[in-house]
Amino acid sequence: MKAHTSETQASITPLIALGILQDGNQRFVNNLKANRNLLQQVNETREGQWPFAVILSCIDSRTSAELIFDQGLGDIFSIRIAGNIVNTDIIGSIEFACKVAGSKLIVVMGHTQCGAIKGACDHLEMGNLTELLSKIQPAIYQETKTLESSKRNSGNGEFLENVATLNVKRSVKTIIDRSYILEQMIEKGEIAIIGATHHIKTGVVEFYEDTLISSESDVRVKMSY
């Protein structure tokens, strides 16, 4: 399998990009790999890169987007930060990936048993990590299914995963809220954005269809909550 070119990237729609990632994850789960020569891809991309998607995920050592989606060199932009949180620099990186480099799909991918989510749920404070974890707090406040205060911590697996999911969905909304460039690209049908969770135990990536924003009507409806 060869690296993407400007022509192959241009032929990919946002929904096709999503399908490519879903197919790649299926191969990963089944312990299969597409036939590709990585050294050849290095040579093929030495003059430029044309990734079809940009994936914001956690730094967790088990969540490499290239492996989970069975992608090669030059296929995707991978942005990694603890808790897959969003800040100005990350949004700027996504704007570069889509507006400048031509990527068609943005994926915000959390994962189960996330250490950053655990730390935020337990109100961990430690150096510069304190500020990072504070960006997850809104998802904790938004979790209203767990009423007993004694169960609103990382020891409660259901609460933990509820917060992780809410954190992903909030990040999707935050990216569009804070980027006029990306919002306009979505409204024109040039790109789409979706949230997902990587299940550590099975390797499966669960995409949240209710977070898929791929048109002007989606922006109006799904960003109103």
Q: How many CB atoms lie within 10 A of CB 24?
A: 24
User: If you search the block for the tokens 């977070």, which residue do you land on?
Assistant: 211
The tens digit of pLDDT for each residue in 154-174 reads 999 999 999 999 999 999 999
User: Could you tell me which of 201, 213, 205, 204 has the C-alpha nearest to residue 175?
Assistant: 213
Long-range contacts of 134-137 (CB under 8 A, 24+ apart): 135/83, 135/85, 135/86, 135/87, 136/83, 136/85, 136/163, 136/167
Tell me the residue ranges of DSSP E strands in 88-203: 105-111, 192-198
The tens digit of pLDDT for each residue in 9-21 reads 899 999 999 999 9
Q: Rounded to 5 degrees, what angle do the CA atoms 95, 110, 134 make? A: 80
Q: How many CB atoms lie within 10 A of CB 29?
A: 15
Lowest mean pLDDT, pick from 86-90, 109-113, 132-136, 215-219: 215-219
pLDDT score for 34:
84
Residue 3 has pLDDT above 60, yes or no: yes
Distance CA 85, CA 62 (A): 17
Number of domains within the chain? 1
Q: Are 62 and 109 in contact (CB under 8 A)?
A: no
The tens digit of pLDDT for each residue in 23-74 reads 999 999 999 988 777 777 777 777 778 899 999 999 999 999 999 999 988 8
Residue 223: inside a domain: no
Residue 20: inside a domain: yes
Residue 222: inside a domain: no
Residue 69: inside a domain: yes
* Percent of the chain predicted with pLDDT > 90: 81
Task: Give 48 or 144, the one with higher predicted confidence.
Answer: 144
Residue 187: inside a domain: yes
* Residue-number span of the structural domain to which 172 is assigned: 6-214
Q: How many CB atoms lie within 10 A of CB 110?
A: 30
| CATH number, domain with residue 177 | 3.40.1050.10
pLDDT score for 225:
56
Q: Which residues pair with 80 in a beta bridge?
A: 57
Within its chain, how far is the Cα of 107 from the centroid? Answer: 3
Q: What is the mean pLDDT of the chain?
A: 93
Q: Are strands 192-198 and 205-213 parallel, antiparallel or unpaired?
A: antiparallel
Residue 1: inside a domain: no
Q: Are 174 and 167 in contact (CB under 8 A)?
A: no
pLDDT score for 42:
74
pLDDT score for 37:
73
